[in-house]
Amino acid sequence: MFNTIREDIATIKERDPAARSSFEVFFLYSGLHALIYYRIAHRLFLHKRFILARWLSQHAKFTTGIEIHPGATIGKGLFIDHGTGVVIGETAEIGDYCTLYQGVTLGGTGKDKGKRHPTLGNNVMVGAGAKILGPFKVGDNAKVGANALVLSEVPPDSTAVGVPARIVRVNGERIGTTNIGINSDLDQIHMPDPISQEFCRMQMKIDSLENQIKELLGKTEDDQTDDN
């Protein structure tokens, strides 16, 4: 467990430009504190000390603002940035070196038994306020935009944004366009906006229809002039 905590600290120092030292991260980062509580509670959960494990996770929620069910499975190097409002469900699985921003929910969609929360692969980034709901997988190196609502599987090396979320980039290239050269794993700004794109397509269609109507009206006026 201590080796895993060291990996968590190293990841935070690498990904957070505000982290000045391991000492600062260990004592002042609520995301790391929540993970330490979780890793202890998870061991208790695996040994069927369910009430004690849940008590510890609830204590962590009140002290850090981050709720991680002790039954969840979390790999090494998880970075929870700020973290307030993060919720990770019982059957959620998170791979190695993932990043979650504040307000992220890895939740279920109902009262089904068994696997009901999402699985994140390795090196997944989930933006602030994003909700991933259901027992599907978000593939390795995928990115989920801020405030996205993800209700179905996200392929590896892709980017999902919107409500409900849609895949807008695969392997660094926008779907239907070319690569714009944004390669930062933590970039949450340079992401396509599917709603704006849809409005643009609708506006182009409206303009095309207006031009067709004008042409038809012009031909009608010409015909009437010829008849006169």
Every domain of the chain and the residues it spans: 2-190, 193-228
Residues 156-182: tens digit of each pLDDT: 999 999 888 888 878 766 665 434 333
C-beta separation of 139 from 157 below 8 A: yes
For residue 207, the model assigns a pLDDT of: 86
pLDDT in tens, 63-120: 999 999 999 999 998 999 988 999 999 999 999 999 999 999 999 887 777 899 999 9
Q: Does residue 185 carry a pLDDT above 80?
A: no
The confidence score (pLDDT) of residue 182 equals: 36
Q: Which CATH superfamily is domain 2-190 in?
A: Hexapeptide repeat proteins (2.160.10.10)
Tell me the mean pLDDT in the region 123-127: 94
Q: In what side-by-side order are the strands of the sheet with 67-68?
A: 67-68, 87-88, 105-107, 131-133, 149-150
Assess whether the previous peptide bond of 70 is cis (omega < 30° from 0): no
Pairing of strands 166-170, 158-161: antiparallel
CA-closest candidate to residue 74, choices 87, 93, 54, 89 = 93
Closest CA relative to residue 41, chosen from 59, 25, 32, 54: 54
Q: Can you give the pTM of this predicted structure?
A: 0.75
Burial of 21 (0-12, 13-18, 19+ CB in 10 A): exposed
φ, ψ at 63 (rounded to 5°)? -90, -25
State which amino acid sits at residue 76. Answer: K
